[in-house]
Amino acid sequence: MSVLRVGNASGFYGDRFAAMREMLTGGELDVLTGDYLAELTMLILGRDRLKNPADRTAGYARAFLRQLEECLGIARERGVRIVANAGGLNPAGLATDVRELADRLGIPVRVAHVEGDDLTALHPGTLAAHAYLGGFGIAACLREGADIVVTGRVTDAALVTGPAAAHFGWGPEEYDRLAGAVVAGHVLECGAQATGGNYAFFHEIHEDDPERLRHPGFPLAELHADGTAVITKHPGTGGVVDVGTVTAQLLYETGGARYAGPDVTARLDTVRLTQDGPDRVRVEGVRGEAPPPTLKVGLNRLGGFRNEVTFVLTGLDIERKATLVRDQLETSLATAKSRPAHVDWELARTDHPDARTEETASALLRVVVRDPDQNTVGRALGAAAVELALASYPGFHVLAPPGKGAPYGVFEAAHAEQATVPHTAVLHDGRRLPVPPAAAGLVLRPVDEPPLPDPLPTGPPTRRAPLGLVAGARSGDKGGNANIGLWARTDEAWRWLAHTLTTDRLRELLPETADLTITRHTLPNLRALNFEIEGILGEGVASQARFDPQAKALGEWLRSRHLDIPETLL
């Protein structure tokens, strides 16, 4: 069958608004997808719905509807189908509003939606509890003629596996083909991250042609019936697609060799990437296994309230000033009527000696308090901080006065048997088609670590230098855990990286991980290592327990650390 061209126009709720128009008008396309949901987004939508349960628009990504208002006619004209998870907590409401929009614009489109992911009623105390559905509900909608399909919580890759299964007629047990689509979907899901955005070696692209990264185009995949794909972008758009940018995105928010999802378990250790021309990367060799018998369920609940103050410490005696104000504030909090349950401190040494500006002579000391009671985090911290204004270190001031305290969320992952989740395709004509669960269940077991390449010969001279001169990295969050994927760009660098960057060495380089459980995975086909770091993000991004709550820059910190590196690699 013909090649299926699937593009992406959104990597998160808040991504480039014009991307939908750019993708629809920039070149040939069969399906345009949009990923609007993240763990944090589900919490935000849940709070939105809680504020006004009667609002029919509450719980879905309103930006999607605004994008359609200016792009629906273009999509219809060009025959491009649109598949998006913008339905969030309210896919039926979004589908209804899309139909009303189409009627108002006089554009005849068939709108379907997927539901069944909402398990909130089964998890008392949660704000939102949603199973991650696969792509076969989307496929059912498309096979029945839908022009637009909106979903709630599906896996990011399902936005691609669904259209591919519908187009090529794949069945649920064609694991290798489905796994190829999952890998392509994972590359597309974060938009411009596959076309040079957030890329470790961005400076090489920028120095070669400063125009290329000013406005990166969004990615698309040319999918084939055998599950192979070519990742590319529309001609003439900014950014770059090469083996490096695709490798970086493949490692993002993944773990080991098995990438388990509701449709298939994709074996990341089988992926082969080759440059197939300018801005074209071929993805092939992907093997698939049965999906696990359970679906991941994301549980979002309110964890309490948080407040913070950042003290500015300028000039000399930074450490002593930090010690003084910390002792003073802790004393005040200890004698308060109700001390916050959690108090965390972090000193960022942003100061420089003999600085030419006051700002560059200053360090930042941040205190964050959390408690189930809003009044406790508001009154206790506010009074204690403000009362120190004339009684603490020289040069006392803060970036902003403490507020009343804001609610924070907690994300947890649970699981539900596939057969217990009512995955349903609701067609444009109102018919409801149940989507059967996967027939077989994979028993997840460790994958044997592949053999390492031969180490580099010992003896040649080394130089103390940043790891990032030899390896790229990308990092991200999964609940309270983080991953760091690193890859080498040459075989020689891979031989060095595979033997040098052990879990013990990682702990040395990143002292914040010293007491945490770390698992290292080896992916030789990608010349890559992937580290899973458990618990570094506390209760997840919404709790904001860490300076970098989504671990977005954890990999860049690692790349900045110095090791003894063979000079031949530098």
pLDDT at 47: 86
3-state SS, 461-478, equals CEEEEEHHHCEEEEEEEE
pLDDT tens-digit map of 39-50: 889 988 988 888
pLDDT above 70 (res 168): yes
Which spans in 60-157 are helix H?
A: 62-78, 91-105, 136-143
pLDDT above 90 (res 380): no
- Can you spell out the DSSP letters for 5-48? EEEE--SSTTS-TTHHHHHHHSS--SEEEE----HHHHHHHHHH
Q: Which of 195, 271, 248 is nearest to 485 (CA)?
A: 248
**Structure confidence at residue 338 as a pLDDT band (50, 70, 90):** confident
pLDDT at 292: 92
CB 150 within 8 A of CB 93: no
Question: What six digits make up the tokens of 333?
Answer: 């909090």
Helix (H, G, I), strand (E, B) or coil at 138: helix
Terminal C-alpha separation, the chain: 47
As a whole number of angstroms, the distance between CA 131 and CA 397 comes to 46
CB 442 within 8 A of CB 549: no
| Mean pLDDT (whole number) for 312-324 | 97
pLDDT tens-digit map of 188-208: 999 999 999 999 999 999 888
pLDDT above 80 (res 540): no
pLDDT at 538: 83
Q: How does the average pLDDT of the chain come out, rounded?
A: 94
3-state SS, 497-529, equals HHHHCCHHHHHHHCHHHCCCCEEEEEEHHHCEE
Amino acid at 226: D
pLDDT at 440: 67
| Mean pLDDT (whole number) for 114-136 | 96
| Mean pLDDT (whole number) for 419-433 | 97
pLDDT at 520: 96
pLDDT greater at residue 78 or residue 538: 78
pLDDT at 350: 95
**Structure confidence at residue 152 as a pLDDT band (50, 70, 90):** very high
| Mean pLDDT (whole number) for 301-326 | 95
- Can you spell out the DSSP letters for 369-392? EEES-HHIIIIIHHHHHHTTTTSS
pLDDT at 375: 87
Q: Which of 22, 16, 167 is nearest to 81 (CA)?
A: 167
| Mean pLDDT (whole number) for 159-180 | 97
Helix (H, G, I), strand (E, B) or coil at 65: helix
pLDDT at 478: 86
What's the Cα-to-Cα distance from 325 to each of 369, 492, 546, rounded to whole Å? 15, 51, 21
pLDDT above 70 (res 275): yes
> For the chain, what percent of residues have pLDDT higher than 90?
83
Element (H, E) at 320: helix 318-335
pLDDT tens-digit map of 2-18: 899 999 999 999 999 99
pLDDT tens-digit map of 444-477: 667 778 899 999 998 889 999 999 999 999 999 9
Helix (H, G, I), strand (E, B) or coil at 92: helix
As a whole number of angstroms, the distance between CA 383 and CA 403 comes to 11
pTM attached to this predicted model: 0.94
pLDDT at 49: 84
Query: What domains can be seen in the chain, in order of their start residue?
Result: 4-298+413-434 (no CATH), 300-409 (3.30.70), 462-569 (no CATH)
**Tokens 């959390």, located at residue:** 370
pLDDT at 444: 64
pLDDT above 80 (res 337): no
Biggest alpha carbon–alpha carbon distance for the chain? 76
**Tokens 């907690």, located at residue:** 410
Compute CA 433 distance to the chain's CA centroid, rounded to the nearest angstrom.
31
As a whole number of angstroms, the distance between CA 266 and CA 286 comes to 7
pLDDT above 80 (res 417): yes
Question: What six digits make up the tokens of 408?
Answer: 């924070």
Query: Which of 337-341, 534-538, 540-544, 557-561 is least confident?
Result: 540-544
pLDDT above 80 (res 423): yes
pLDDT at 1: 65
Helix (H, G, I), strand (E, B) or coil at 238: strand
pLDDT above 80 (res 313): yes
3-state SS, 169-237, equals CCCCCCHHHHHHHHHHHHHHCCHHHHCCCCCCCHHHHHHHCCCCCCCECCEEEEECCCCCEEEEECCCC
> For the chain, what percent of residues have pLDDT higher than 70?
98
pLDDT greater at residue 1 or residue 387: 387
